[in-house]
Amino acid sequence: MAFTFRGGIHPDYMKERTSASVIVSDMPKPERVVLPLAQHIGVPCQALVKVGDRVLEGQKIGDCESGLCAPIHSSLTGIVKAIETRWHPNGTKVLSVIVEGDGTDDKVELTPFEGEIDDLSPEEIIDRAREAGIVGMGGAAFPLHAKLRTALDRRVKTVIVNGCECEPYITADHRAMVEYPRFIMMGAALIRRCLGVDDVVICVENNKPDAIATLRATCDGSGISVQELPTKYPQGGEKQLIRAVTGREVPPGKLPMDIGCAVFNVDTCASLYRAVFRGQPLIKRVVTVSGSAVANPANLLVRIGTPYQDLFAYCGGFSSDPYKIINGGPMMGTAQHSLETPVTKNTSALLAFAENGGEETILDDSACIRCGRCVSVCPMRLQPTRLYECAVVERFDECAKLNVMDCIECGCCSYTCPSKLYLVQAIRMAKRSIPKEGAKK
Ligand code: SF4
Ligand code: SF4
């Protein structure tokens, strides 16, 4: 089998600046953390604390009764200074709990489990994933307990652990695989136990040979295999990964579980291990800080809620004026406008770029030259040029017929377009507009 998918691109990966940077785990505590009560797909949490309360590191401060909610825990011990709307990395203002540190190290932890994995029932694993507030850490931020519950009900047969990290610049998962492979392997084993599956495979692109070697040595004899995949963007997309590993296609409009597969990020697995066997809720994560405007790029273990400015300051500040700051990778990340915005559970990278000499210039009168490049690179076999034409004239019904909802917003079409059209932006707008159109009707 070729272990790849149709389409995709080969951007300059630019990972060398941080791929050998050991994760910094002793960053100074921030003075305050900003904890949005919505850090997951689903129903936002309600605050469980009020202004003036003293909260401990690891204390649950937000939760709700919905099955699609992941609790929020304080990442700092201190006083709740405010509960108000603050900027979220997604570009909206979200109700957030602001905790000002009091300099102490008091903390609360969940009760660690001290037995063997096989002593845990699926329900116990799901409950512990929920109590720890774990979400998909590769970017989707879907509550882990909800995904495990659905996968269990749907009798998933294949579990894929995603260590591809195909976005340029980001090396957080790469370093995690090299530095704590056992946590990832044990987390994958917990998921295997929870879902009762035999087939668990950790997938890594071949531009991370040290991670592949370390994971293979760690997983030897565990029944969990490690699959090396060709380096190609977006190899880490769920549907692309399933196609590459199993040869099976997820049909349009369907989900991986519809064909018996579930995909989990490597750091999500490590967080599950920490929650179950160490009693640690999800209050820290690894973030790659990189880009041409960053003085000393690094991989940092960061308390969730830490403002961006603290991360850049730790990395020596800016070597030149940042022209653009992005939360996530350059292909699918979100441009940011405030350095006070906090790191959230799914922030894998923070990138700052210097002025790039006009490469971004887009001519107002640029037009499609019918070269077909966007069609040939689209990993979802869509027609980006046609979707774009319909989206810009607000023919969202046509977009729907052309399966716009299957677009994974990977940006391959925009990347490859010689006319530099805003393809993915227009397609994204169409996707957001379709539910509204339906509601109007
Ligand atoms: S149409 Fe969507 S899935 Fe296809 S290349 Fe463009 S952004 Fe990616
Ligand atoms: S890549 Fe750009 S110019 Fe070429 S067909 Fe697609 S939209 Fe048109």
Measured from the Cβ of residue 292, the count of other Cβ atoms closer than 10 Å reads 19
Residue 150 pLDDT exceeds 60 = yes
Could you give the count of Cα atoms lying within 13 Å of 279 in the half-sphere of its Cβ?
A: 11
Q: What is the mean pLDDT of residues 423-435?
A: 91
**pLDDT over 90 at 87, yes or no:** yes
Task: Cis check for the bond before 256: say yes or no (omega within 30 of 0).
Answer: no
Phi-psi region of 285 (alpha: psi -120 to 50; beta: other; left: phi over 0): beta
The mean pLDDT of 367-384, rounded to a whole number, is 96
How far is Cα 53 from Cα 149, in angstroms, rounded to an integer? 34
Closest Cα to atom 3, ligand 2: which residue? 368
Whether 232 and 4 have beta carbons less than 8 Å apart is answered as: yes
pLDDT (0 to 100) of residue 360: 54
Residue list, ligand 2 pocket, CB within 6 Å: 368-374, 384-385, 416-419, 421, 423
Q: Give the length of the chain.
A: 441
Domain annotation for the chain: domains and CATH numbers: 1-27+105-361 (3.40.50.11540), 373-440 (no CATH)
Write down the pLDDT at residue 441: 47
Reference 3, options 213, 228, 262, 166; nearest CA is 228
Main-chain phi, psi angles of 92, to 5 degrees: -110, 170
Q: Which is it for strands 72-73 and 78-87: parallel, antiparallel or unpaired? A: unpaired
Mean pLDDT of the chain: 94
CB 156 within 8 A of CB 262: yes
User: How far is C-alpha 111 from the geometric centre of its chain's CA atoms?
Assistant: 27
> Of 174, 233, 227, 172, which Cα lies nearest the Cα of 202?
227
Give me the residue label for tokens 């409009």. Answer: 253
- The residue whose C-alpha atom lies closest to atom 4 belonging to ligand 1 is 378
What spacing in Å lies between the alpha carbon of 397 and ligand 2's midpoint?
22
Residue 410 beta carbon below 6 angstroms from any ligand 1 atom: yes
Residue 358 pLDDT class (50, 70, 90 cuts): very low
CA 106 – CA 429 distance, rounded (Å): 46
Question: Would you state the pLDDT for residue 139?
Answer: 80
Query: Ligand 2: distance of its center to the CA of 293 in Å?
Result: 31
Ligand in nearest proximity to the CA of 412: 1
Is the pLDDT at 56 greater than 90? The verdict is yes
Mean pLDDT of 51-71: 96
For 209, phi then psi, to 5°, come to -60, -30
- pLDDT at position 327 is 97
Q: Ligand 2 centroid vs 426 CA: distance in angstroms? A: 13
If you search the block for the tokens 């002593």, which residue do you land on?
119
pTM exceeding the 0.85 threshold for the entire prediction: yes
Q: How far apart (Å, rounded) are the C-alpha atoms in residues 368 and 366?
A: 7
- Best residue for ligand 2 mutational test, from 9, 362, 368, 424 (most atoms within 8 Å of Cβ): 368
Q: Summarize the confidence of residues 34-56 as an average pLDDT.
A: 96
pLDDT at 357 over 90: no
Residues 122-145: tens digit of each pLDDT: 999 999 999 999 999 988 899 999
